[in-house]
Amino acid sequence: MRLAEVEMIMLNVGLAGFGAFIFFIIYDLAKQSKAGKFGTFILFLALGLGLGVFLVKSLVVYFLDI
């Protein structure tokens, strides 16, 4: 396995871990602020949308390079 392949795998693993950590932070924020079900949904929608757009952008760039 080449170094570039290892770096790409570690980048994907790192970004997945970062995304999971971001969602944990959003969940903890909703729990500590006692946001309720609707407030938690809005927090995940608003704050999670930024991460979702980042991931979609990565997929679009990947498919355009093919």
Q: What is the mean pLDDT of residues 23-46?
A: 92
End-to-end CA separation in angstroms for the chain? 22
**What global pTM score does this model have?**
0.71
Q: Are 26 and 43 in contact (CB under 8 A)?
A: yes
CB under 8 A, 24+ apart: contacts of 49-55: 51/19, 51/22, 51/23, 55/19
Q: What domain range includes position 11?
A: 3-65
Q: Are 65 and 51 in contact (CB under 8 A)?
A: no
pLDDT single digits (tens) 39-64: 999 999 998 888 888 888 888 988 99
Count the domains in the chain.
1
- Residue 13 pLDDT: 93
In three-state secondary structure terms, 66 is: coil
- Residue 66 pLDDT: 75
- Residue 14 pLDDT: 92
